[in-house]
Structure 1
Amino acid sequence: MDKTLQTPHRLGVVDALRGFALLAIVLLHNLEHYNIYFIPESLPSWLQTIDQYVWDAMFFLLAGKAYATFSLLFGFSFYIQYHNAEKRGIDFRGRFAWRMVLLFLFAQLHALFYNGDILLLYSVVGFVLIPVCRLNDKTVFWIALILLLQPFEWGRMLYALFDSNYVINGTHFITYAESAIEATTHGTFLEVLRNNIWNGQLYSNFWQVENGRLFQTAALFMFGMLLGRRKYFIKSNRSTRAWKRILKMAILAFIPLNMLRFYVPVYISNPSILISYNVAIPSLANFTFMAILVSAFTLLWFNRGEGYKWQRTIIPYGRMSLTNYISQSIMGVCIYYGFGLGLYNSTGATATILIGLAIFMIQLTFSRYWLSKHKQGPLEYLWRQGTWIKL
């Protein structure tokens, strides 16, 4: 197993998982009109009904789960890089810190076009892996579990329970969101770029922090690192048994968490408690559903040996995840924003899903072509070369 991780050979199941996670992100971004969230009322009533079903189904299946899968695999990738460097006698921690600085620069490029960037959050939270990467598995697991449970939100709920004057404000992002939406719907291309430099990034990152992404992302990074350490993405009797346990536990946990998510809030009268509750419980519910999807996908891959054809098909897309993540946003904003085709005001959920699939097919075709001639995607190559630059 160690030899497998030391070679340039990539784990196909990981690239396939990353590809499907990115596909889900693309579909959700299109569904949201890249953060414009406009529902056209001029559509026929029958189409509006279909759109509502499509919207509900897509958000139930993918919202919060695609991002969580992407984050989990980020932590796994860190382990692979750290492990391979360690086998060569290199301390990867300094290089990884520099790698996060480079990711911050990629985030600035991406955020210029789209005000829903997650790379900046990754580049900041990624530093948490440096102090924990040499701790034992048990310690890392408990740190990750505590972070996953959203201790800050539970602390705020407890405080609000005993102090009726304590007010939690979970809407700091709205002021910046209003400015960002005005620019994206009616602004010119340059006005969108100028607005995104400040308001767009504050909108995105305030929203992520206020919705528990800070703690959850750190936890997912650590869990991904543990999956690498335990070699759970390498087929063996041990890893197969582990994924079956994860699947069973995730199903058992998701059912009550989902019930708590939908049925309890109506009985919470204190708005401050409600705000934190609606962060902590959905975060856990999304995590358990993500665990169901990832474990089921991995078990299917193991069952086939090297994955089913429909799983292997998307591998090139996952291998170029950074390039495809940034380029899909550029394509999407040109389709929906006011300076482009302005389709945000005429496309419902069904149409946006079809557009999202078209973007995916274009990118998948390009990924196959590019990787037939190169070992990495263009941005992946720049990131790697920058990581190992001689200082």
Structure 2
Amino acid sequence: MSSLFQKRIDLVDSLRGFSLFGILLIHFIEHFNLYFYQSPPLEPFKALNTGIWETTFYIFSGKAYAIFSFLFGFSFFIQFNNQKKQGYDFRIRFAWRMILLMVFAQLNAMFYPGDILVLYSFVGLVLIILSNASNQLVYWVAILFMLQPLEWYQFFSSIIDIDYQPYEKINWNYFKLVSPVLASGTLPAVWKTNLWEGQIFSNLWQIENGRLFQTASLFLLGMLSGRKELFHKTPMTILFWRKVLACGLVGYGVLYSLQFYLQSSTALPSKILLSILVPTLKNFFFGSVLVAAYTLLWYTFTNNRLQSIFIAYGRMSLTNYISMAIIGSFIFYGYGLSLNTTLNIVFSFIAAILVFIVQLLFSIWWLKKYKQGPLEYLWKKLTWMGDSRTQLTEP
């Protein structure tokens, strides 16, 4: 293994920042799960409202999260490999790290009932289990998870048994308990609700919409990308990302056509395919296109200022992810400015851009003074507490 992984990789930080920016946009135009909107009075603004919503969701919904998850697996490999080269087993420390992530998740969940960090802290265990497995085994397990085995079980069950009924999604029952509190409750009421009903809603939604298996798959694929040094510019990796770009476009096109075809059917097997399997695979292929295009663009223009602005944002991803929830909840929820019924999609999008700029400027300023973001530093220190070694463990 080369010395590539002894330092941070700007491309990976930039890509992580880009995906986090997409998550920020989605959360803001969704009003952090408060779907109340003021319709613009003029027709051109109504069209702009619709255009921003559809474009943002088309590009980022399900894809930004997928890229973020993929890079989580890549980061695990960086840490695991650095420790392995020094003769240490990182798995126990990583398990402790996931417990700490669960604690950070509670801070985020207090403000936003859509947290993904709880899911990450559990699914991260699959990286421990397969950390020393062969590339082939990791690849095929990742494929199995990506194909949503539970959905295929339901699909074939619906074909074999005409009376078969798919499992009922119940996350909405909890969302109905959370939503009124977010809209008009006090801050203590929001915290109390989010830490119970909000977390149940959030994690049930992710499980019932295929995120459990998909996240595990993306973690493993991210780990494989680290093993293969796919973010190290070589003729082979350039060719690889070109193939990913082509395959992603073809795969997305095929699934888009399949979805269009299945939508005309009222049969239960078709509905099961449309519920989770086809959408998650579409997001995966489109996300692959984004990663490949972003990487190839980076390789082509080594001093690309547009991509470089995301580096600092990505280096402080935990700090920015949690702080966006705190800021966003204050803007939209009843305990704060309560703008959930005032800001239309256009102004919500503008608010997201302004928050991104503030977070970005803070990230740049902070990283000029310190090597890591505040929460990143705390996470690292707590991860390695009790360890007397002083060598670099997290580039």
Please point out which of 317, 320, 327 is paired with 2:323.
Answer: 327
Contact kept in structure 2, 1:156 and 1:276, CA below 8 Å:
no
* Post-superposition CA distance 1:142-176 (Å, at most 9, x none): 11011101111011111122223322234210111
AA matched with 1:244: R
* Post-superposition CA distance 1:92-135 (Å, at most 9, x none): 01000000000000001110110010000000000011111111
Please point out which of 347, 350, 353 is paired with 1:351.
Answer: 347
1:369 aligns to what?
A: 365
AA matched with 2:27: H
- Deviation for aligned residue 1:48: 2.0
> C-alpha separation between the residues in 2 aligned to 1:49 and 1:4?
48
> C-alpha separation between the residues in 2 aligned to 1:303 and 1:276?
39
> C-alpha separation between the residues in 2 aligned to 1:263 and 1:335?
41
1:127 aligns to what?
A: 125
2:392 aligns to what?
A: none
- Deviation for aligned residue 1:275: 4.0
AA matched with 2:240: A
**After TM superposition, what 4+ stretches of structure 1 lie above 6 angstroms from structure 2?**
none
* Stretches of structure 1 lacking an aligned partner (at least 5 in a row): none
- Deviation for aligned residue 1:302: 1.1
Following superposition of structure 1 onto structure 2, how do residues 165-184 of structure 1 map, counting pairs within 5 Å?
A: 165-184=163-182
- Deviation for aligned residue 1:314: 1.5
AA matched with 1:341: L
2:194 aligns to what?
A: 196
Contact kept in structure 2, 1:170 and 1:275, CA below 8 Å:
no
* Post-superposition CA distance 1:332-357 (Å, at most 9, x none): 00001111111110222111110000
2:2 aligns to what?
A: 2
Please point out which of 108, 113, 116 is paired with 2:114.
Answer: 116
- Deviation for aligned residue 1:139: 1.2
Distance 1:202 1:273, change over 3 A: farther
2:393 aligns to what?
A: none
- Deviation for aligned residue 1:37: 1.4
* Post-superposition CA distance 1:304-359 (Å, at most 9, x none): 23x41111122000000000000011000000111111111022211111000000
2:284 aligns to what?
A: 287
Please point out which of 60, 74, 88 is paired with 1:90.
Answer: 88
- Deviation for aligned residue 1:50: 1.6
- Deviation for aligned residue 1:262: 3.3
Contact kept in structure 1, 2:126 and 2:216, CA below 8 Å:
yes
- Deviation for aligned residue 1:42: 6.1
Contact kept in structure 1, 2:154 and 2:272, CA below 8 Å:
no
> C-alpha separation between the residues in 2 aligned to 1:310 and 1:216?
30
> C-alpha separation between the residues in 2 aligned to 1:262 and 1:326?
37
> C-alpha separation between the residues in 2 aligned to 1:201 and 1:85?
34
> C-alpha separation between the residues in 1 aligned to 2:168 and 2:205?
8
2:390 aligns to what?
A: none
RMSD over aligned CA atoms reads 1.3
2:308 aligns to what?
A: 312
* Post-superposition CA distance 1:179-233 (Å, at most 9, x none): 1111101111111111011100011100000000000000000000000000000
Please point out which of 212, 237, 261 is paired with 2:259.
Answer: 261
Please point out which of 61, 75, 79 is paired with 1:63.
Answer: 61
2:12 aligns to what?
A: 14
1:138 aligns to what?
A: 136
AA matched with 1:225: M
Contact kept in structure 1, 2:181 and 2:189, CA below 8 Å:
yes
Following superposition of structure 1 onto structure 2, how do residues 267-278 of structure 1 map, counting pairs within 5 Å?
A: 267-270=265-268, 274-278=271-275
2:333 aligns to what?
A: 337
* Stretches of structure 2 lacking an aligned partner (at least 5 in a row): 388-395
- TM-score, with structure 2 as normaliser: 0.95
Contact kept in structure 2, 1:76 and 1:228, CA below 8 Å:
yes
AA matched with 1:214: L
- Deviation for aligned residue 1:261: 2.3
> C-alpha separation between the residues in 2 aligned to 1:108 and 1:212?
22
> Tell me, what secondary structure is at the counterpart of 2:340?
helix
2:44 aligns to what?
A: 46
Aligned-pair identity in percent equals 43
> C-alpha separation between the residues in 2 aligned to 1:347 and 1:170?
34
Aligned residues: 387
1:218 and 2:207 are equivalent in the alignment: no
1:186 aligns to what?
A: 184
1:36 aligns to what?
A: 34
AA matched with 2:142: A
